[in-house]
Amino acid sequence: MSKLKVVGGIPLRGEIAVHGSKNAALPILAATVLFPEPVELTNCPELADVRHMLALLEELGCRIRQQGDRVEVDPRGITCTELRTDITRRLRSSLFLLGPLLSRFHEAAAVYPGGCDIGRRPIDLHLQGLRLLGAEIEEREGRIYCRTAGLKGTDIQLDYPSVGATENLIMAACIAQGVTRIINGACEPEIVTLCEFLNRGGFSVTGAGTPQITIRGGGEGRSIRYEIPADRIVAGTYLAAGAITGGEIFVRNAPVKELTAPLNKLREAGCLIREERVGVYLKGPKRPRELKKIETRPYPGFPTDLQSQFFALCTVARGTSLIVENVFENRFVHGEELQKMGALCHIRGDMAVIRGVKSLHGADLTAHDLRGGAALVLAGLRAEGMTRIEGAQRIDRGYVRLEEALSALGGRVTREPPEANV
């Protein structure tokens, strides 16, 4: 268990570069199972979740070579199609392996995946889609057993544009026979990235970024090198840190086009924003203005993964803000922690009403989930005095050494004990 210590009251200044995207890297790593030859990834973020995914691939029989952010996956040695229980329980995105394993090896097994405690996180859409493609799926004693004589392309209408289900089904359809159309699929940038990776690797996917995605099955796959794009949620987190501290920062590599909704909210809060080709310049106000209403929605709506960071920003705004969390059922857990710092927020169901206060005070807190933990760090950067945050290993799931990134901007953030949690 590691802990972060934050001393607040210092406006952030300077430039920070954004590392590779966790939510782009994880499905792409799962997709390497579809390839008959080694695949090389660059700018692959050195995160706990990525290490867990690589461990799963190794357990299946893949040969992994890693040097910093360069990762090579050689899937030629896969001999097993059953996912390791202890990792699968902790890593929800292990689910992304079901589709590719089924598609290429006609079988796959796993326990129900775990992940952050932000909601029930069912997997019905994944399983419904795989069944439509011709998989027989048995669920017994908490485990999922899948097998098929060979997946066959078909139309799949998703009841909800689930990011993971869309990714899983695209990968499953790549080697299936015939054409698959996913209707009401997710439009997130990570879907576009996955499909770009698959197309460069010899598969055939069109419509990525729109709700209708078409996959021509029977693909072969060929060895490629692919660069993971910058992480839009990490970029948004750094920008929110600049805003809450009234700082002046430049976030290099921020994927500006993927940040329209959060950037508009930062402008509404009184930030001066300059969108440049290689990043975003932000100058935060002394005290942010309230955000009348934030509603999280599937992309291109306001991203649920930035909700908690903007919640923290609202706690010190001049006025009352409203946040509606439409994607997950339990994603306000950070509210209770922020109240320990003097935040005034009232949470009922999917709504949070936040009355901004002039200042927060440091406190001893716990990070209960990845993005909620990041929100506590941001609040600590603004608060008077010291904030200690238990559970920093949860923050490490999505941020590469967050304490170093914020310290590079002049923030006083340190970790105890010094090494990040593996």
Query: Which residue lies nearer to ligand EPZ by CB, 19 or 22?
Result: 22
Q: Which two tokens stand for residue 262?
A: 């959060």
Q: Which two tokens stand for residue 4?
A: 């972060």
Dist. CA 239–CA 139, nearest whole Å:
43
Q: In the β-sheet with 70-74, what is the strand arrangement from edge to edge?
A: 63-67, 70-74, 39-42, 225-227
Query: What string of DSSP letters covers 116-143?
Result: -SSS----HHHHHHHHHTT-EEEEETTE
**Residue numbers 239-298 binding ligand EPZ by CB under 6 A:** none
The amino acid present at 170, given as its one-letter code, is: I
List 2, 94, 103, 162, residue binding ligand EPZ (CB under 6 A): 162
Strand-pair partners of 64: 73
SS3 call for 227:
strand
Query: Which residue lies nearer to ligand EPZ by CB, 38 or 300?
Result: 300
**CA-to-CA separations, 80 to 90, 107, 227, 256, in angstroms, rounded:** 20, 10, 28, 41
Query: Which residue lies nearer to ligand EPZ by CB, 162 or 321?
Result: 162
Dist. CA 413–CA 51, nearest whole Å:
24
As measured in angstroms, the least distance from the Cβ of 330 to ligand EPZ is 10
CA dihedral 265, 269, 274, 280 (to 10 degrees): -60
Specify the pairing of strand 39-42 against strand 225-227. Answer: parallel
List 21, 32, 193, 304, residue binding ligand EPZ (CB under 6 A): 304
CA 8 to chain centre: 27
As measured in angstroms, the least distance from the Cβ of 211 to ligand EPZ is 13
Name the segment binding ligand EPZ (CB under 6 A); options: 79-87, 121-129, 145-153, 284-292. Answer: 121-129
Query: Which residue lies nearer to ligand EPZ by CB, 190 or 403?
Result: 190
Query: Which residue lies nearer to ligand EPZ by CB, 60 or 123?
Result: 123
126 makes contact with ligand EPZ (CB under 6 A): yes
Q: Which residues contact 47 (CB under 8 A, 6 or more apart)?
A: 22, 396, 397, 398, 399, 400
Q: In angstroms, how far is the first alpha carbon of the chain from the final one? A: 10
As measured in angstroms, the least distance from the Cβ of 231 to ligand EPZ is 9
372 makes contact with ligand EPZ (CB under 6 A): no
List 69, 290, 305, 325, residue binding ligand EPZ (CB under 6 A): 305
77 makes contact with ligand EPZ (CB under 6 A): no
Comparing every residue's Cβ against ligand EPZ, the nearest one is: 164
164 makes contact with ligand EPZ (CB under 6 A): yes
As measured in angstroms, the least distance from the Cβ of 355 to ligand EPZ is 26
328 makes contact with ligand EPZ (CB under 6 A): yes
List 234, 370, 389, 409, residue binding ligand EPZ (CB under 6 A): 370
As measured in angstroms, the least distance from the Cβ of 242 to ligand EPZ is 20
Instruction: Kindly provide the residue ranges of all beta strands, DSSP E only, lying in 277-382, ordered along the sequence.
Output: 279-283, 294-295, 320-324, 344-348, 351-355, 364-366
Catalytic residue among 116, 174, 195, 345: 116
25 makes contact with ligand EPZ (CB under 6 A): no
As measured in angstroms, the least distance from the Cβ of 264 to ligand EPZ is 18
Residues in contact with ligand EPZ, total (CB under 6 A)? 27
**Residue numbers 81-100 binding ligand EPZ by CB under 6 A:** 92-93
Strand-pair partners of 391: none
> Residue 204 class from Cβ within 10 Å (0-12 exposed, 13-18 middle, 19+ buried)?
middle
Cis peptide, bond prior to residue 303, ω within 30 of zero: no
As measured in angstroms, the least distance from the Cβ of 303 to ligand EPZ is 6
In the residue annotation, 116 being an active-site residue is answered as yes
111 makes contact with ligand EPZ (CB under 6 A): no
Q: Count how many residues are written for the chain.
A: 422
Helices (H), 245-293: 260-268
Q: x/- contact string, 39-68, with ligand EPZ (CB under 6 A)?
A: ------------------------------
**Residue numbers 212-241 binding ligand EPZ by CB under 6 A:** none
Q: Which two tokens stand for residue 20?
A: 């590779």
The amino acid present at 393, given as its one-letter code, is: Q
163 makes contact with ligand EPZ (CB under 6 A): yes
Catalytic site positions: 116
Chain residues that interact with ligand EPZ, rule: CB under 6 A: 22-23, 26, 92-93, 116, 119-126, 160, 162-165, 190, 304-305, 327-328, 370-371, 398
